[in-house]
């Protein structure tokens, strides 16, 4: 990564414009009208990529210094696939209050905040409270990027199996950041029977060990359908399995799913259900890996989402904008839809522009666009 200027600086005249005295005129204009920041600074095209290093990839709590390479990689993806400038910020604190206050104080330098690799359940509170305090997009990619791409892939998979969202049974293993967001976006998209499991089984209100975030999740999911019990209990007759937890699901459990099942086993590097096993019992199989077909990859979502939000100077990223992003991704597959291709490639040049356009239009519909 490097930072480069967008204009030349080769002589005395250039220097007088780039810095003193010429820059003072811009400063005075912004002081008189802060909205001019959107036109004369890097702010409207720059996202802060913020982490505390507590949930990095599959590596866990490795701290802020070791998290920097991932944040740099994220910045490269933002630029390559969305034309968005990203600045990695690794914070030397895991305290919720300190993280929130730090980001609030940094916010004037950025057009949006991308939260990254912050462990659950702290990530939920951090995101929610930053949304309340800031008038720029705040997006936790581990939650919402994963959810958007999952919904897109599932939309196309259900087309192949002739399934309808309202009659589809979904089991999600993993009640962390990604599992919670996937459950919420599927409900938003019309799926009515969603069950989330953790290490102790179905997250339902008849359990007495639930955190506040899991209690709220239970009310949205298992409590509506009256389901409880173990992961195996949830699997029996299910149409869709979404894995964002790690571990291994025994084949005899997988075999109890409904006909024409859909399996998205997204743990890296080892999927919860190996594709060889999944293909024996499912019609459509996806993973989080690039060496198998149908990779559920966040890079399909977050660059275009921020590009679209920045293009209309959105004050937030709404549920409608996320669903619109998923729909745009699903539609790109078009006539190429097969069991081996339910989601486009990250290198499809249509992806970023299509997601950005859908997100910008949704921002206008949802009333958060300012341009």
Catalytic center residues:
19, 74
How far apart are the C-alpha atoms of 183 and 170, rounded to whole Å?
Answer: 9
How many alpha carbons fall within 13 Å on the CB side of residue 272?
A: 22
How far apart are the C-alpha atoms of 111 and 78, rounded to whole Å?
Answer: 13
- Distance between alpha carbon 283 and the CA centroid of its chain, in Å? 26
Q: H-type helices in the chain, by residue range?
A: 12-18, 22-32, 37-40, 63-82, 96-106, 122-133, 141-161, 177-188, 212-220, 222-225, 231-235, 251-254, 275-278, 302-311, 319-333, 351-365
Contacts of residue 350, defined as CB under 8 A and 6 or more positions apart, other chains included, come to: 332, 344
Contacts of residue 266, defined as CB under 8 A and 6 or more positions apart, other chains included, come to: 146, 150, 178, 242, 243, 244, 272, 286, 287, 288, 296
Q: What does the buried/exposed string (b/e) look like for 298-327 if buried means 16 or more CB atoms within 10 Å of the residue's CB?
A: bbbbbbbbbbbbbbbbbbbbbebbbbbbbb
């Amino acid at each position: 990564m490097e930072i480069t200027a967008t204009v030349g600086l080769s002589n005395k005249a250039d220097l007088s414009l780039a810095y003193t005295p010429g820059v003072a005129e811009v400063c005075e204009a912004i002081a008189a009208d802060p909205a001019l920041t959107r036109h004369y600074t890097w702010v409207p095209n720059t996202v802060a990529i913020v982490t505390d290093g507590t949930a990095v990839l599959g590596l866990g709590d490795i701290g802020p210094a070791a998290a920097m390479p991932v944040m740099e990689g994220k910045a490269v993806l933002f630029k390559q696939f969305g034309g968005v400038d990203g600045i990695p910020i690794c914070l030397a604190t895991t305290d919720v209050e300190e993280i929130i206050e730090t980001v609030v104080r940094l916010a004037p330098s950025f057009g949006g905040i991308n939260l990254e690799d912050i462990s659950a359940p702290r990530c939920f509170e951090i995101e929610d409270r930053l949304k309340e305090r800031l008038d720029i997009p705040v997006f936790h990619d581990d939650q919402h990027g994963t959810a958007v791409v999952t919904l897109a892939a599932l939309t196309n998979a259900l087309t192949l199996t002739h399934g309808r969202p309202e009659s589809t049974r979904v089991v999600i293993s993993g009640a962390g950041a990604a599992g919670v967001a996937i459950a919420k976006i599927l409900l938003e998209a019309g799926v009515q029977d969603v069950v989330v499991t953790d290490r102790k089984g179905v997250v339902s209100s008849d359990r007495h060990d639930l955190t506040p975030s899991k209690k709220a999740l239970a009310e949205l999911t298992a409590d509506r359908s009256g389901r409880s019990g173990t992961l195996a209990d949830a699997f029996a007759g299910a149409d869709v399995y979404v894995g964002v937890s790690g571990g291994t699901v025994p084949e005899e459990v997988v075999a109890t799913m409904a006909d024409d099942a859909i399996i998205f086993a997204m743990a890296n590097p080892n999927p919860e259900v190996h594709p060889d096993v999944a293909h024996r019992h499912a019609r459509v199989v996806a993973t989080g890996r690039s060496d198998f077909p149908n990779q559920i990859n966040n890079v399909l979502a977050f660059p275009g989402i921020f590009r679209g939000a920045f293009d209309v100077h959105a004050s937030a990223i709404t549920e409608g904008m996320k669903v619109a992003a998923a729909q745009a991704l699903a539609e790109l597959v078009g006539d190429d839809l097969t069991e081996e291709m339910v989601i486009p490639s990250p290198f499809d040049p249509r992806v970023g522009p299509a997601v950005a356009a859908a997100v910008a239009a949704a921002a206008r519909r949802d009333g958060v666009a300012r341009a």
